[in-house]
Chains A and B, each alone.
Chain A
Amino acid sequence: MTTSLPSYPFESSRKVWNFPDLPEEKASEDSWITKLRNRVNRLFRDTSASYQDAYALDAHVESPSLSYTAELSLPTLLAKLHVAIAHPAEVIDYILQNPGLGPIVMYACLLTKDEFRHDATITLDLYQDPESDDRYLTIYVRQKKYDKNILKRIDKICDEYEPALRGQSGWLLLTTDYKHPSS
């Protein structure tokens, strides 16, 4: 059997998805986790559930692994949203070392995609401060022609996801570096 680099012919969704068990927050329709669950469900409602067999379900129902979920769920979602991961090994390592951050990253990427749609490229990367040990995840928004309100639009998204970061180790920044999307 031969496998090749995935090309996703016909622009269809990947017919496999594994997502972490998103924690319930009872009596809170407005909570970020409820919004995230609804958005993920909406995004994948046209996706065949045929892969949701015992083995796929087992990924988050039975397995205590942090990496199995992160390795399979995050790239699947980001591929669907056309969000690039610049340095996958470093990004996934950071998420593994900061359990709880994964769903917030998903939420922030979904919000960013909703806001900018086809108007920008979105890249997730790990920023390492060259002058200190400080490291944090960064989502970069880049446009071919920069909108003068881009920072206001970014701030609006930050207001949505940043409360979820309270009490978490690790940090997630959403910004633009004003570079060309192809850089």
Chain B
Amino acid sequence: MNDYRNPPIVEAVCEFRFSSDTPWEQDLPDRFYDAVRDHFPIRESRKGQSLEIKANATGIEKHTVETVDIPVFFTKDRKMLVQLGPRALSVHCLRPYPSWEVFGPTIRRAYEIIDSLTGGIRGFDRIGLLYVDKIEIPGETVRLEDYFAFYPHLGEGLPEEVVNFMVGCDFAYNDRDICRLKLTQAMPEKQNTLAYLLSTDYFLAQKDTVRPEDACAWVEEAHIKVKALFKGCITKKLEEIFDLEE
């Protein structure tokens, strides 16, 4: 995703949701901070929701919602951050996206620290690699097919004037993973442009099918798939806007 001089990435996220038997002690955020404070010196927290549903053969047995404090660790420039939810780790990279050569090792380091601090991750409910791209195209009217290979198709019987849309597709990989592609209109940042949000979310759809020691290899493979899918979504004309590096 870093082959462009003007990349459209507004956020990249890698998230691990660990299995319920993975040990997760209360002081884990403190110990994690001690280990990462050189790279993520700013520690804050934000509120989130924890939803727990227990089901049995007759239906929902228990349903609880509680507010949780999610520790957030920022780099000095606040462009990268790590969040620790209950049995969850997410590494976020905001624009300007540096490169996979920077983001990939950061994910690996955060994962290895959690693995070591928990005494060994037992498994995964989900692993995901998500890229959110914001694409701005000059003009007051845009023919989507000129720029995208992934867009809503409208038959002849439908009106041509569209003021908003949302289109999505799930692609299956390896009998285990799904990549969810979504395209919708977004808010333009420059005058006389149209903006689109393209998100490519590659995730492990079957829990406990990746071993903890293979998690980082899974992320590397996910990155290759996401990159290929992104390339498949756009036309040469759109690549010109991103300024492809030679």
Chain A residues in contact with chain B, CB under 8 A?
1-9, 14-16, 21, 23-26, 51, 54-56, 58, 62-68, 71-72, 75, 85, 87-89, 93, 96-97, 99-100, 167-169
Assess whether A67 is in contact with B132, with CB atoms less than 8 Å apart: yes
Q: State in angstroms the CA–CA spacing of A75 and B165 once bound together.
A: 15
Q: State in angstroms the CA–CA spacing of A9 and B42 once bound together.
A: 46
The residue in chain A whose Cβ has the minimal distance to the Cβ of B151 is: A1
Assess whether A67 is in contact with B10, with CB atoms less than 8 Å apart: yes
Assess whether B140 is in contact with A5, with CB atoms less than 8 Å apart: yes
Question: Contact mask B118-157 → A, CB, 8 Å, 1/0?
Answer: 0000000000101010100000111111000001111000
Assess whether B128 is in contact with A99, with CB atoms less than 8 Å apart: no
Given contacts A2-B144, A64-B15, are A72 and B197 in contact (CB under 8 A)? Answer: yes
Given contacts A72-B186, A85-B187, are A66 and B92 in contact (CB under 8 A)? Answer: yes
Assess whether B67 is in contact with A26, with CB atoms less than 8 Å apart: yes
The residue in chain A whose Cβ has the minimal distance to the Cβ of B17 is: A64
Residue in contact with A24 in the complex, picked from B49, B154, B194, B199, CB distance below 8 Å: B49
Provide the residues of chain B in CB contact with A72, threshold 8 Å: 184, 186, 197
Q: State in angstroms the CA–CA spacing of A25 and B42 once bound together.
A: 26
Assess whether A71 is in contact with B194, with CB atoms less than 8 Å apart: no
Given contacts A4-B141, A51-B166, are A63 and B185 in contact (CB under 8 A)? Answer: no
Assess whether A65 is in contact with B141, with CB atoms less than 8 Å apart: no
Residue in contact with B94 in the complex, picked from A3, A58, A97, CB distance below 8 Å: A97
B227 within 8 A of A: no
A92 to chain B, nearest CB (A): 8
Assess whether A3 is in contact with B144, with CB atoms less than 8 Å apart: yes
Q: State in angstroms the CA–CA spacing of A58 and B205 once bound together.
A: 14
Assess whether A88 is in contact with B132, with CB atoms less than 8 Å apart: no
- Give the total number of A-B pairs whose CB atoms are below 8 A apart: 132
The residue in chain A whose Cβ has the minimal distance to the Cβ of B161 is: A4
Assess whether A65 is in contact with B132, with CB atoms less than 8 Å apart: yes
Given contacts A63-B201, A67-B94, are A75 and B187 in contact (CB under 8 A)? Answer: yes
Assess whether B162 is in contact with A68, with CB atoms less than 8 Å apart: no
Provide the residues of chain B in CB contact with A68, threshold 8 Å: 11, 132, 197, 199
Provide the residues of chain B in CB contact with A64, threshold 8 Å: 13, 15, 83, 90, 92, 128, 130
Given contacts A72-B184, A75-B186, 7 further A-B contacts (CB under 8 A): A1-B143, A3-B165, A4-B162, A68-B132, A93-B95, A99-B46, A100-B46
B207 to chain A, nearest CB (A): 14
Assess whether A65 is in contact with B11, with CB atoms less than 8 Å apart: yes
Residue in contact with B164 in the complex, picked from A1, A14, A25, A26, CB distance below 8 Å: A14
Residue in contact with B11 in the complex, picked from A23, A25, A56, A66, CB distance below 8 Å: A66
Provide the residues of chain B in CB contact with A99, threshold 8 Å: 46, 72, 81, 83
Assess whether A16 is in contact with B187, with CB atoms less than 8 Å apart: no
Provide the residues of chain A in CB contact with B74, threshold 8 Å: 97
B180 within 8 A of A: yes
Provide the residues of chain B in CB contact with A88, threshold 8 Å: 187-189
